[in-house]
Structures are given as structure tokens and as C-alpha cells.
Chain A
């Protein structure tokens, strides 16, 4: 192989990263694993927003970040980072509310008319 062309594997992961093809089940699992590794590192370093605190995140979890970026589509990386911020905020809010003595309600989400 010449230096300009790349192996089929590289080609495939490049296509996944750019969003040209949808990842298969195995590829999705690999991405999720990389994501969990990256998030675990962020948790350990107390970083909530990996987009805002890019520098701190890059310094503390550079290695995990590289794997994350390699195994997931670029769009997914941004999505998961944003999702994490929201998820942390949601958990915090629930904790605050529960501390104030709020009761958890099971919200009805179907279209059944209430009697």
C-alpha cells in the first residue's frame, strides 16, 4: 500500500468518524466503551463540562480523549459530552430537591385520559 491510501480498517473508522456510515453494533459498543473510559477519567478529575474546560480535560484525560475521538463519530463525541453535562445537572437537581423533601412523581407519559 502506498503512503496515500490507507487500510480498509482505517477507511472504515474514518467514515464512521465523519458520519458517512452508521456504526455497526460492535463499533457502537467500542465507542460506548471509549466514552465510559473517558467519562470515568473526567469524574475522577472533577470535570463537568469537557467542552468548556477543554484545557483541563485535555491535560487530565488526553489519552482517553484520543481513544474516544478515534472510536466514535465526531458528532457523537460532542453529543455525549453535552449529554454528560445535562445528566450531572439533572442528578444534582434531583438530589437538591430530595434534600428539600420533594417526592418523586411518576410522570404519566401516555395519552390515557385521566379519570
Chain B
């Protein structure tokens, strides 16, 4: 404290200063009481030996003291502390709520008595290699059903899938397998799939098989499709099918379906959030 400031305080509150001294003398437990000879000298006012009382005189000027009186117990510091605590709690509860919601979504398909989506399958990929559900385990997979002769929705959705995949790869590389399963095995062989998917993303995995294998796959994923069983040579047709992205966890269990209502950004955020909460082992690929 500077000298003029002390003087101002003492002039303004002479009675309080006296009381201060008297109290010091009578308080045996106080640290300052051990040195009573100095405690009442005006010079010693600068020492901080009376925390309780001195708090009232921490103002350097009368104006400051007055303004403190006007504003009462509220100060901008208290206000800030209040707001920050409130914001912090709100943020915590909101994130926790979201986390619980995701957990519920992810676990709603685990265990007994839950709707089972997905399951074992054996198909061939766009290079002609056999792929089973075991090969996809250890990573999350994003499964989409479609066909190469699709007029409008599948190409749009596959472009979306490419954006989603890139965004997820950016945050958590090697944890997501993008899978395209054809609903039209009669026309979509490995060669056709390879050509078709290369235009969307080089990392897309195309799966095909016999009509019965694809039918079983679609049934396991609860996918509706309308491919004709018997196709005459040269006959053109369109396939009506479900248009969801199925997010499957590293154990091959269904997590969540992403649809047309999700933007690629929303969808990739949902996927990444689920991945971050995965506690089990992961088998990353380059």
C-alpha cells in the first residue's frame, strides 16, 4: 500500500482503525497478538496481520470503497465465476447426456432379445476374393446396399459416403471399412463393381455373390430389394431397395442406421463419436 492511500483510508475511517487495534489485543489466538507492541502503531498498518477486518479496507480510495458499497456483494469477478460455473455444468450435463444417448443407441442392438441386424455372410469382393463377416471384424464398417445401374439415389448416396469416409479417415484413420453390397448380383460381378466404385472412392469395398447369397445378406441386414429372380438376357430392370448406411461395430453388431436426412458432416460426426467410445480391441489397417 502506498503512503497516500493509507492516509486516505485512515482519515476516512478513524474509528474503525481504533476498533481494529482493540480487537487485536483481545484476540490471543491471533498471530498478531504475539507482537502486541507493534500492532497499534500507525506505521504497522501496512502489515497484514488481521485478515478478517482488513478485508473491509482493501480499497485504495474512498471512491473505490463507495462504489463497492453501491454494488453490494456483487462484482464482475463474482458474476464471471457464477457464469463460468454455470456454463461448465451445462456443458458437462449436455455432453454426458449425448454420450448416454449414443451408448443407448449402440447397445440397443446388443444382448438378448434385441433386433438383430447383420450377421455372418460369405461373399466375394471386387477383386474376386472371398470376404466373410470375420474379415470385417476389428474395424467399424459402413455398409451400403445398391446396384450399378441405379439411376439417381445410389450415386448421390455413394458420393456422400465418400465424403463421410474421408472425414472419418481424417480424424481416426484405418478404423472404418466402407462396404458396398450389390442388390443386383446378376449384372454386378466383381469387374463391374470395381469399375463402378473406382469412380467414387478407391478404398470402397464392393461385395457380390450369387442371387441366394445376396438375398441372405439383404435379409440379415433387413434390406428390402426387388431384383427379379430370373433375368432374361438383355432384359433391363431397376432394383428397388432400402437406402440406409448401416454402421456396424468391430464385433459385427449393428450400431446405427444413417439415412438421407443426415448430411455427410452430421453422419461422419455420429460415426466418429461412436468410434471414440469403443473400448474393445481395434484392428487398424493402412
- Per DSSP, are chain B's interface residues mostly helix, strand or loop, or mixed? loop
In the bound assembly, the distance between CA atoms of A28 and B151 in angstroms comes to 8
- Given contacts A74-B236, A106-B261, A113-B108, is CB(A19)–CB(B155) below 8 Å? no
Closest to A23 in B: B149
Question: Is A111 a contact partner of B115 (Cβ separation < 8 A)?
Answer: yes
Given contacts A111-B115, A112-B108, 20 further A-B contacts (CB under 8 A): A18-B234, A19-B236, A19-B237, A22-B149, A22-B188, A22-B196, A24-B195, A25-B155, A32-B152, A74-B236, A75-B151, A75-B237, A76-B238, A83-B152, A106-B261, A109-B257, A109-B261, A110-B105, A111-B256, A112-B105
Question: Is A79 a contact partner of B238 (Cβ separation < 8 A)?
Answer: yes
Let me know if B104 is at the binding interface, CB within 8 A. yes
Determine how close the nearest CB of chain B comes to the CB of A22; give it in whole angstroms: 4
The interface of chain B, by Cβ under 8 A from chain A, is: 104-105, 108-109, 115, 148-149, 151-152, 155, 187-188, 192, 195-196, 199, 234-238, 256-259, 261
**7 A-B pairs with the lowest CB-CB distances in the bound complex, closest first:** A19-B236, A22-B148, A25-B199, A76-B151, A75-B236, A22-B149, A109-B259
How many residue pairs between the two chains, A and B, have CB atoms under 8 Å in the bound complex? 56
Interface size on A, residues (CB 8 A): 21
Determine how close the nearest CB of chain A comes to the CB of B226; give it in whole angstroms: 13
What sequence of 0s and 1s flags, for each residue 14-30 of chain A, a beta carbon within 8 Å of any chain B beta carbon? 00001110101100100
